[in-house]
Structure 1
C-alpha cells in the first residue's frame, strides 16, 4: 500500500469525515487544506440534524422507515434533476452513517424530527446543549487535531491555505498547489485528492452566472463559500451539473437591529418540524403547509407575504420550548426570537387582526391533531392548545427566504470519483464529497441531507482510495 498523503481540500464535515476514515480505518496519512482560518465550514452551523433510516433511534420511537422510502422522498424532492443512483446510495448508506457517528465518536443522536418533504421522522440530533452540526464537527475535528499533535506523520492540517491549482500527469493527479496567508506558494505531491470545498452561495459572481434571479437575496453562507472547488474542477474538465439549482431556504431570521443585512442567521427547519407555524403579517393567518419542501414554502412566502421584505412570522408554543430550549434560548440571546403574550404580538407586528382573532387562528391549528389541516400539514406537534387567551405567551421571530445551498457541482459516481464529460472518471485519484459535488439532491435538497451527504460520500471517497491503493 502506498504511504503518500491524501490531500483533502476543505474542513467541513465532508473533509473531516474523509480524513477520519482514511486515518482511523485505513491508516493512510492525510494533509488537510482550507483557505479559512478555522475548521468547520458551513457544516458547523447545521442546526436541524442528520438523516438516517432504519436506525436504533427510529426503532426506539417505533418509527417504521426504510432506505427505499427515504430514496423515494429524495427523488420526489429532486423533481427530475440530479442522479438517482447517487440518491439511492445516500439513502442506502444512511443507517451506516448514523451508526459510524455513534460508535466511532460516541455521539448520542437519540432524538428525531420530521422535516419538510420527509414521510417520517428521520432527522437525528442529540439530546444535550450542542447544535447537531457543531457537535458532529467538533467530535471529528478534535480527533484529527489530537492526531496532528501526536502523530504529525499521519495528520497535517494547514489553515489559511488556498488551493490554486491541481497538477496531473498521464491521466492521474500528481500534485496540489496552494497559497498561504502570506501569498507564498507551496506544492504537495499527491496521487489522491478529495475536494470537500463546499458550495458557492456567497459568491455574487457565481450566482449572477448560474442563478441571476437570486443575486439580491441575503444568504446564510460564510464568506468562504465562493465556489473555488467548482472552478478548479471545471478547469480540469469536470462535468458540472445542476449549477442553476440553488436552494432558497424559506426561513432566515431577520435581525431587528440590522434588518437589511445581506447575511442572515438560519432559522433551523427543526423549528417548524417540531411545531412552529408561519403567519402572514399582512393577514395574521397561516398560508402554507410549513412542512412541505423548502422550495414550495419559499414560493408561498414570496407570493403571499409583504413584498418589500418577503417577511413571515415564525410562531412557536411554550410547549415547544421544552423540546428546543437550548436553541430558543440561543435565538433569544441573539434577539432573533422574542417571548411575548399574543396581545403584544398583535401590536408589535402591527397585525390586521385583534388578539382574540389571533387566538382563534392558533386554536384552529391546534385542532388539526384530530382533523385534517386544510393546508395539508400532517405533523402537528407542540400545538398551542384550545384554551389560549390574549395573555398566552408564544415565541416569535421574523423570517425571510435566504440563499442557502447549491445543489449543483462536479458530477461524481457512487465511488465519489469526479466524472468528466465522457461520463468516465476524469482523473485517477480525483474525488469529491459534499456540496462541491452535484447530482445528489437534484433541484431541491431535503433538510438533514447535507450532513448526511458529507458523511456518506466522505466515507465512500476514503474507501475508494484505500481499495485503489491495495
Structure 2
C-alpha cells in the first residue's frame, strides 16, 4: 500500500446544498495511483488569522522545518485582521500598573465557566488561561503595540483584564505575526484554496490545492498537490458566512441578521475534515455580537464605541423608554435581551445606547463613529426622544432613576456593576444596536494538544491538527469578549509543541 493513495474527492457544496455555486459540484470516491506531488513542506498551515500565523511562527521556532501558510483569500489575516484588537490577559503589565493585583488565570476560567453554561471544556480553558502571558509575550516579541494604560473590564469578566492594540484592530497583531514569519522563513501563499485532503488510511499526507483561486469562483486557478512531511494544521476559522450551513445547524438563528465576519468565513475545510471522520461538536452554537449596529455593515466601529456605552452609558428600549438589561452582561445574555425588542409586526425595534459626549469628544472611538454616521451627537433627552420616537416622559423618568442608581453605585433593576457608570447629563453620543452573527462555538473536536479527533475511533487523525475557531467545544454556549485572540495565539504555541512531541515520539 506504500505506493497507493486512496482518497475522497469531497464536495462540501453537496454536503450543504445551496452552496453548490461556490463549491465543487459532485461527490465521488475514487482510487488513484501514487500522487505526483508538485511540492512539499514540513508543516502546512491552512488559514492566516491569529491562530494560523501564531502556529507558523512557533513551528519555525520549534525547529520543525519548512512552514507553508495557505490562505484562500487575496489578503492575509481573515477575520482576525478586522476584529477589534482585544486580548484578555490576566496579570498583564498594564493591569498590574493599575493596581489590579487580585486577578489570575483561574479567575478568567471562572468567568468562562459561567458564560459557557455547563457546555465548556474546562481543561482547555484552563490550559489557555495559564499560558495567556505567553501570548502576550509573543505579541510584544513580534512588535505588537498596545494602547498605553488601557486595560478595562469587558462584558462577562469580573476583572479589568482586556488590553487593546494601538489602532484598535486585530490587524495590528496579524501584520506583526506575518512580518515575523517572513523574517523567520515562513512561506505565505495567498489565493490557495484547499480542494481536498490526501490521506493514507487515517493519516493526512498532503493537500490538493487550487492555486491562484479568486474567491468565490472555483473555476479559477489550477490544481496542485502539496505534500505535508510532518503535519497539517487547520486554522481556517469559522463558517458564519455560510448561510446554508448556518441554517442547517441552527434553524432558529434569524437569517436576516448581519454578520461581522470576513466574506471568506465559509467553512469548506471544516466540512472536508468531517468527511474524513473528524468529529464535529457544538455546530449549532453560533454566537451573536450584542454590540452590532444596524447603521453600518460588517464588523464596523460599534464594538469599539460600545466599550464606552456599556460602561459609562445606558441601553434604552425605543418602545417604552425603559432600560431592559444589564449592559455589562455576557454576549448571549445581552443579545437575547436586545432581540426581544420587536415592533408589533415582528420587525426590529432597535434600542439605543447613549453616554455623555463631553468626556469623550476627542476619543477616536467617538470621532470615528460620528464621522461615519453610525452614532449621533444629541443635546438633550427630548431630542433623543424625538429623533428615535421614544416616549419622552418615560425616557426622562428612566434616566432620573438610572442617575440615582449611579450615585448609589447599585442597580436594583438588573444587578449591573456600577463602578464605571456616569451620571447622564448631556450632551450625548447616541447609537442604535442590534446583534450580528459573530462567532461559531462549534467545529472540530480536538484533544488538549490540538490533535483532531476521529469520530469513528475517538483517536487522533495522524498528523492532522486544528486550532482557533475551526475547533469546537471549548467555550460552551457563549464565548467571552477578548478571549478568541487569546485562544488562537496560545493554541498556535501549543500546537507547535505538540507536533514536535509527536515527531519525537514517533522516532
Same fold flag (TM > 0.5): yes
Q: Which stretch shifts more, 220-229 or 16-25?
A: 16-25
The Cα shift of 1:106 comes to: 4.5
Q: Tell me the residue number matched to 2:197.
A: 166
Contact 1:280 1:305 (8 Å CA) reproduced: no
Q: C-alpha distance in 2, partners of 1:26/1:368?
A: 58
The Cα shift of 1:310 comes to: 4.2
Contact 2:153 2:161 (8 Å CA) reproduced: yes
Contact 1:285 1:361 (8 Å CA) reproduced: no
Which of 256, 260, 265 in structure 1 is aligned with 2:300?
Answer: 265
Gaps of 5+ in 2: 1-39, 214-219
Structure having greater relative contact order (Cα 8 Å, sep ≥ 6): 1
Contact 2:341 2:348 (8 Å CA) reproduced: no
Q: C-alpha distance in 2, partners of 1:419/1:275?
A: 45
Q: Tell me the residue number matched to 1:335.
A: 373
Q: C-alpha distance in 2, partners of 1:44/1:276?
A: 28
Aligned 1:39-438 pairs, distance under 5 A: 39-47=76-84, 49-63=86-100, 64-108=102-146, 110-126=149-165, 128=166, 130-144=167-181, 146-147=182-183, 154-180=185-211, 181=213, 182-190=220-228, 191-214=230-253, 215-255=255-295, 263=298, 265=300, 267-268=302-303, 270-306=307-343, 307-318=346-357, 321=360, 325-342=363-380, 343-354=382-393, 356-357=396-397, 360=400, 363-369=403-409, 371-381=410-420, 383-385=422-424, 388=425, 392-421=426-455, 424-438=458-472
1:379–1:455 distance in 2 versus 1, CA, 3 Å: farther
Q: C-alpha distance in 2, partners of 1:5/1:304?
A: 53
The Cα shift of 1:282 comes to: 1.2
Contact 1:281 1:305 (8 Å CA) reproduced: no
Which of 469, 472, 475 in structure 2 is aligned with 1:441?
Answer: 475
Q: Tell me the residue number matched to 2:487.
A: 453
Contact 1:131 1:327 (8 Å CA) reproduced: no
Q: Secondary structure at the match of 1:162?
A: strand
Q: Does 1:21 align with 2:72?
A: no
Q: Which stretch shifts more, 329-338 or 157-166?
A: 329-338
Q: Secondary structure at the match of 2:52?
A: helix
Q: Secondary structure at the match of 1:192?
A: strand
Q: Secondary structure at the match of 1:22?
A: helix
1:84–1:360 distance in 2 versus 1, CA, 3 Å: same
Q: C-alpha distance in 1, partners of 2:224/2:374?
A: 43
Q: C-alpha distance in 1, partners of 2:452/2:50?
A: 19
The Cα shift of 1:456 comes to: 1.2
Q: Secondary structure at the match of 2:261?
A: coil
The Cα shift of 1:357 comes to: 4.3
Gaps of 5+ in 1: none
Q: C-alpha distance in 2, partners of 1:303/1:89?
A: 36
Q: C-alpha distance in 2, partners of 1:243/1:47?
A: 24
Q: C-alpha distance in 2, partners of 1:380/1:272?
A: 14
TM-score in terms of structure 1 length: 0.89
1:102–1:276 distance in 2 versus 1, CA, 3 Å: farther
The Cα shift of 1:25 comes to: 4.8
Q: C-alpha distance in 1, partners of 2:78/2:457?
A: 30
Q: Secondary structure at the match of 1:441?
A: coil
Q: RMSD over aligned Cα, in angstroms?
A: 2.3
TM-score in terms of structure 2 length: 0.82
